[in-house]
């Protein structure tokens, strides 16, 4: 055995011991962010997000693929209890849509969606005052805003964006109606 082969073996053994054998199989591109979400759930989240942040003269939530962002964030970052609240909330939202309009949320027109979302927003605000458990619509709304404004579309086309900022100017001029600065 020559020295190079010995060094290769030592590197492989040491690296495997430090990383752990299971780490090689821990991340799969197919499983990342999927969890209990199906393609229909992503479409539903996209439509809810688009109702909250619709496309106008600026891009909307669907342009930033916020539904896909929410599925990854909920699966990878939420606790099991929060995930359960979120998934149950999606089912409740569709059930409420069927009870009100005899159709699921994806089949509603724009004004019906806005009415339903406004009602859920009021319900969520009332629950915050009543108890400490997060309301599923509050979670959806927060993730919509977070996902949109941290996306490339939200940061570059809605917020003001400077790729390489210049010097620090602590007193920048601001005029009412001017967009905020991007954080990315």
Task: Convert the pLDDT of each residue in 64-118 to its tens digit.
Answer: 999 999 999 999 999 999 999 999 999 999 999 999 999 999 999 999 999 999 9
Do residues 69 and 147 touch, judged by C-beta distance below 8 A? yes
| The pLDDT of residue 141 | 95
Tokens of 79: 């606790």
Q: What are the tens digits of pLDDT across the range 156-168?
A: 888 877 776 667 7
pLDDT band at 5 (very low <50, low <70, confident <90, very high): confident
* Percent of the chain with pLDDT strictly greater than 70: 82
Judge whether residue 12 has pLDDT over 80: no
CA 104 to CA 93: how far, in whole Å?
9
Nearest to 117 by CA among 88, 155, 144: 144
| The pLDDT of residue 32 | 47
DSSP 117-143: HHHHHHHHHHHHHH-SSPPHHHHHHHH
* Between residues 170 and 21, the one the model is more confident about: 170
| The pLDDT of residue 98 | 94
Q: What are the tens digits of pLDDT across the range 32-56?
A: 445 688 999 999 999 999 999 999 9
Name the range with the highest mean pLDDT among 13-17, 126-130, 147-151. 147-151
């Amino acid at each position: 055995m020559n020295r190079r082969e010995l060094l290769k073996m030592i590197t492989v053994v040491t690296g495997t011991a430090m990383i752990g054998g299971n780490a090689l199989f821990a991340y799969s591109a197919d499983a990342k962010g999927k969890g209990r979400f199906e393609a229909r759930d992503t479409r539903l989240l996209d439509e809810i997000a688009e109702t909250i942040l619709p496309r106008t003269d600026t891009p909307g939530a669907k342009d930033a693929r916020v539904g896909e962002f929410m599925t990854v964030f909920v699966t990878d970052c939420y606790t099991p209890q929060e995930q359960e609240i979120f998934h149950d909330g999606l089912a409740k939202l569709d059930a409420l849509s069927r009870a009100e309009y005899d159709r699921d949320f994806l089949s509603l027109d724009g004004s019906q969606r806005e009415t339903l979302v406004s009602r859920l927003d009021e319900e969520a605000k009332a629950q915050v005052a009543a108890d400490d458990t997060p309301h599923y619509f509050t979670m959806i709304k927060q993730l919509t805003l977070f996902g949109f404004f941290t996306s490339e579309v939200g940061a570059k086309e809605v917020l003001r964006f400077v790729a390489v900022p210049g010097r620090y100017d602590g007193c920048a001029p601001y005029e009412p109606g001017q967009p905020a600065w991007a954080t990315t």
